[in-house]
């Protein structure tokens, strides 16, 4: 029997390597890092619908625009419980990756915000439903422009009917 061909039984190998090859200092507690949401939102995001707006005057939306948006949501059978509203001027550096990661967004509606403003690597026209990264994106005009324009309202409604069809 040569030393090159020694075969050890399984139980002996297990005993020889019962400690790991990398020794961890077990006296130090392992720190659990919990991701805290860094995106300032309005709403509870229950249905994973994210609405992105740009407004420099208020934290989220002025009352008249919020009321108009609530009417749109109601027509889509949604409430503030279902959505998350993000104001990109109050969330510096926000991008589509952060929206996907932190909010687990499935549908993202951009009101008066271009895809480039959230670093989305594609461009598409207003009221066109665009799928990317297992998410649905829709761009629309600013809420103030839609509110007083019947043609814009019709375009938005036709698009939203497709997005929220059950």
Instruction: List, in order of start, the domains of the chain with CATH numbers.
Output: 41-163 (3.40.470.10)
Phi, psi of 76, deg, nearest 5: -90, 10
Distance CA 89, CA 53 (A): 8
Between these two residues, 158 and 33, which has the higher pLDDT value? 158
What value does the mean pLDDT take over residues 34-46?
79
In this structure, are residues 58 and 115 in contact, taking their beta carbons and an 8 Å threshold? Answer: no
Quick one: tokens of 46?
A: 């229950």
pLDDT, tens digit (0-9, with 9 covering 90-100), for 91-147: 988 999 999 999 999 999 999 999 999 999 999 999 999 999 999 999 999 999 999
pLDDT, tens digit (0-9, with 9 covering 90-100), for 8-23: 776 666 676 666 545 5
End-to-end CA distance of the chain: 74
Q: Kindly state the percentage of the chain with pLDDT values over 70.
A: 80
In this structure, are residues 55 and 61 in contact, taking their beta carbons and an 8 Å threshold? Answer: yes
Is residue 25 pLDDT above 70, yes or no?
no
Q: What is the CA 47 to chain-centroid distance, rounded?
A: 11
């Amino acid at each position: 029997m040569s030393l090159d061909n020694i075969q050890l039984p399984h139980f002996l190998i297990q005993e020889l390597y019962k400690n790991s090859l990398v020794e961890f200092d077990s006296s130090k507690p392992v720190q659990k890092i919990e991701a805290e949401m860094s995106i300032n939102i309005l709403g509870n995001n229950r249905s994973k619908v994210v609405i992105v707006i740009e407004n420099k005057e208020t934290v989220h939306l002025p009352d008249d625009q919020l009321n108009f948006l609530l009417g749109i949501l109601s027509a889509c059978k949604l409430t503030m419980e279902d959505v998350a509203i993000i104001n990109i001027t109050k969330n510096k550096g926000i991008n589509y990756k952060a929206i996907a990661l932190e909010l687990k967004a499935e549908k993202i509606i951009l009101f008066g915000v271009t895809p480039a403003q959230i670093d989305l690597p594609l461009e598409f026209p207003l009221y066109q439903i665009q799928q990317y990264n297992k998410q649905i994106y829709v761009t629309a005009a600013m809420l103030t422009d839609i509110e007083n324009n019947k043609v814009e309202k019709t375009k938005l409604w036709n698009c939203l009917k497709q997005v929220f069809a059950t």
